[in-house]
Each structure stands twice: as C-alpha cells, then as structure tokens.
C-alpha cells in the first residue's frame, strides 16, 4: 500500500478567520489554534498539509492555552476531509494537552494540568446545548491537530491519571458518545446485554463500559480475526461475523438471548437487524451512518417491542466528567491500536479510511515513532 505523507507547506496557508456567518458574534467560541498544524487544502487525504500558524494571543481572563500532546482520529474526520473542497481548516476534535498558560480569572484548571477539550464546545449541560460547536469542523472552528490550542476554561475536563497521553486523547468523541448512548440515555442496568456493531472507536468504548458496569457484550464485525482480538482485548462474550451472517439480528436473538441495548453505528444498512436483535423495552442508540443515511422503519416491530430510540450527538461536559469517574474507578484503558507521529498524520487517516484497525488511531504530537 502507498501511504501519502503530509508535506511541509511553504509559504504557510492562510487560516480561515471567519466563522459560520449564521452565528451571531456573541456565540463565537473562544477556540484558537497555534503552532504547527495539519490543514486541509481541499477534498481528500492527499490534500492535507502541515503549516505554521501565527502565534496565539495571551489567554483572556477565562481562557487557557494547552500544548497538545496527543490527538485521536474519529470517523467524522474522514467524512470532513473527503467531503469538502473547502480548504484552510484543521481536522480532528479529540486531543489531550498540558496547560501552559492561564488567564487572570481562571478557576477550573491550573498550570501543568492535563486536560481534554470537550467535543462540543459550550455544551456543558443538556440545557446549554443550543450554543455548542464541535471542534474541527469544516466551517472554520479550529480542530485539534495542531501544537497549541487556546480554549475557554469551561470547555475542558481533567483526565484520569492512569491513562497515557495517547489513551486520554481518545475520550472526547468516541468515549463520550458511547457513555451517553449506554448510560445517560440508555439507562444501562447491571446484567443487561449490549450489542456493539463493528470494532471501531465508539463500539470499543461501548464494550468496555458495558463490561465495567456488569453487562454482557455481543460484538459484530466483518472480520473473524478482529472478533478474535476483541474477545481477548475487550472481554467480549459473544461475537458474530456480519458478512457471514447477514441476519445477525436473528443470530443475536436466537444464540445469545438478544440485546437490551444496541449502539447503532451503521445506519441504514444495519438498522433493521438492530431492531431484530433488540429485546422488549430495549434501547436503540442511533449514532452513526457508516452504511447509509435513510431507511424505512417497521413501526409494528418498533412499538410491539416498546423500543426506546435515542438520537446521540456525542454528549455534554457533564457526560464527560461522569464517564471519567467510571474510567478512573474501573481503571479502563481505551483500546489504542495504532500511533503515528504528526509527520505521518496522512497515514493515520488512510488507516482509518481503510478500516484495518480496531479501537482507536492516535497521532502523537510529542513522539516521533509509529506504533502499530
């Protein structure tokens, strides 16, 4: 396979300054990127470049600056990179960093603390969500694939001490999404069975939370070797190859007693089987669209099983903090299966696009070596 490597881009590209024109000025989040960064210059991984951004201003009274230590990729980053011709934006939403500067009135963090930005900036509680922005979107909100970030002190959370930088950087999107799907919205109870679709980031976290909280896990995958690995690494109890078993919902039901929760990441192509797999009063967390956006719904199946369906849009800072307590208590370690240096960020995106991984893919901003 030929890997495209990010090239040093000279002269530096002009970073987009203007945020979404539909956003009133008072809603603009205080999030700015600085230092070296990876920037999209048009659709496709081959159009990623590295550049040096202008120096950050000093933090305002309630702002902080972090040195980014590690950045985690999510499938949405691939959608963004491949989906827009527009250049001048920095991908990725997930990172962990060390606090290197604080404003005069900052109370929530101290110098040297290790923190993650929250995925949806300003989404602190469910009641706050209307002013939220995700980092690393194509409309000019900076992403995390850069050396420095200036953020509001309100928009970061401390990370559990037992996690490495690479592990900690995986938490904001995939971790919080799985937590909200299973715990906040799903109202998971001990002894319940959770079906996770595939072996990617959200699903790996879903399996880990279910296990930690006393549940059983059914995992589907296109690959027997991936299923073998998640059995070992994530203590998954039951596995189904969805390519060999297109009626995997029935298999889940007849062989493994069905699921009380499904983390639905496939979308149109998996939705019907997810409904089949669910037990009465089961919770369907609608999360992803990997296999299409639109589908028809058998309403009888839906109401006769009294299924609860929850749309999930990552989660709030409160979800993040609750999740971190569980991760710390149960010493959960996110499943990082590949680490790339910043100079090989393109290779990291290629690996994600190709699907040849389980769990999380990370770009280290401090270490020069790859780990696969």
Ligand X SMILES: NC(=O)c1ccc[n+]([C@@H]2O[C@H](COP(=O)([O-])OP(=O)(O)OC[C@H]3O[C@@H](n4cnc5c(N)ncnc54)[C@H](OP(=O)(O)O)[C@@H]3O)[C@@H](O)[C@H]2O)c1
Q: What is d(CA 82, CA 92) in angstroms, rounded to the nearest whole number?
A: 13
Does 197 contact ligand X by CB under 6 A? yes
* Piece of the chain touching ligand X by CB under 6 A; list 183-191, 196-204, 206-214, 301-309: 196-204
CB nearer to ligand X: pick between 59 and 200: 200
- Is the separation of the CB atoms in 259 and 195 below 8 Å? yes
- Is the separation of the CB atoms in 102 and 153 below 8 Å? yes
SS3 (DSSP) at 7:
strand
- Pick from 332, 351, 363: which is nearest to 182 by CA? 332
- Please report how close the Cβ of residue 350 comes to ligand X at its closest, in angstroms: 12
One residue of 160, 249, 288, 334 binding ligand X per CB under 6 A: 288
CB nearer to ligand X: pick between 110 and 224: 224
Site string for ligand X, 60-89 (x = CB under 6 A): --------------xxx-------------
Does 274 contact ligand X by CB under 6 A? no
- Please report how close the Cβ of residue 271 comes to ligand X at its closest, in angstroms: 10
- The residues in 136-195 that bind ligand X, with binding defined as CB under 6 A, are 173-174, 177
One residue of 51, 152, 155, 220 binding ligand X per CB under 6 A: 220
Q: What is d(CA 372, CA 369) in angstroms, rounded to the nearest whole number?
A: 10
Q: What is d(CA 270, CA 295) in angstroms, rounded to the nearest whole number?
A: 9
Does 242 contact ligand X by CB under 6 A? yes
Residues 6+ apart with CB under 8 A from 221: 198, 199, 227, 230, 239, 240, 241, 242
Does 200 contact ligand X by CB under 6 A? yes
Q: What is d(CA 274, CA 259) in angstroms, rounded to the nearest whole number?
A: 9
Residues near ligand X (CB under 6 A) are 74-76, 173-174, 177, 197-202, 220-223, 226, 242, 265-266, 269-270, 287-291, 312-314, 352, 355
């Amino acid at each position: 396979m030929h890997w495209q490597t990010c090239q040093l881009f000279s002269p530096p590209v002009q970073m987009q300054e203007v945020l979404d024109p539909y956003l009133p000025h008072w809603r603009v989040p205080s999030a700015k990127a600085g230092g070296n960064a990876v920037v999209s210059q048009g659709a496709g991984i081959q159009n990623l470049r590295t550049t040096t951004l202008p120096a950050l201003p000093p933090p305002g009274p309630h702002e902080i600056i972090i040195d980014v230590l590690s950045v985690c990729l999510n499938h949405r980053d691939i959608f963004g990179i491949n989906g827009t011709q527009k250049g001048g934006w920095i991908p990725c939403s997930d990172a962990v960093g060390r606090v290197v500067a604080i404003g005069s009135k900052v109370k929530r963090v101290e110098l040297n603390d290790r923190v993650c930005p929250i995925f949806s900036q300003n989404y602190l509680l469910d009641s706050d969500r209307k002013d939220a922005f995700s980092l690393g979107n194509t409309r000019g909100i900076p992403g995390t694939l850069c050396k420095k970030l200036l953020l509001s002190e309100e928009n970061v959370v401390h990370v559990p001490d037992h996690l490495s930088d690479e592990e900690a950087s995986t938490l904001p999107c995939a971790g919080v999404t799985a937590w909200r799907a299973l715990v906040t919205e799903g109202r998971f109870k001990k002894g319940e069975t959770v079906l996770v679709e595939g072996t990617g980031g959200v699903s790996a976290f879903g399996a880990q939370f279910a296990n930690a909280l006393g549940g059983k896990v059914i995992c589907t995958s296109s690959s027997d070797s991936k299923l073998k690995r998640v059995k070992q690494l994530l203590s998954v109890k039951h596995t189904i190859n969805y390519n060999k078993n297109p009626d995997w919902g029935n298999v889940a039901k007849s062989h493994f007693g069905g699921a009380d929760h499904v983390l639905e990441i496939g979308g149109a192509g998996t939705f019907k089987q997810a409904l089949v797999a669910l037990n009465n009063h089961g919770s369907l967390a609608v999360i992803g669209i990997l296999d299409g956006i639109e589908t028809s719904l058998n309403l009888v199946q839906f109401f006769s099983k009294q299924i609860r369906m929850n749309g999930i849009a990552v989660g709030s800072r409160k979800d993040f903090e609750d999740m971190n307590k569980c991760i710390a208590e149960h010493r959960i370690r996110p499943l990082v299966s590949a680490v790339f240096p910043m100079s090989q960020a393109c290779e990291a995106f290629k690996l994600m696009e190709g699907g040849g991984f389980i769990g999380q893919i990370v770009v280290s901003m401090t270490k020069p070596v790859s780990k696969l």
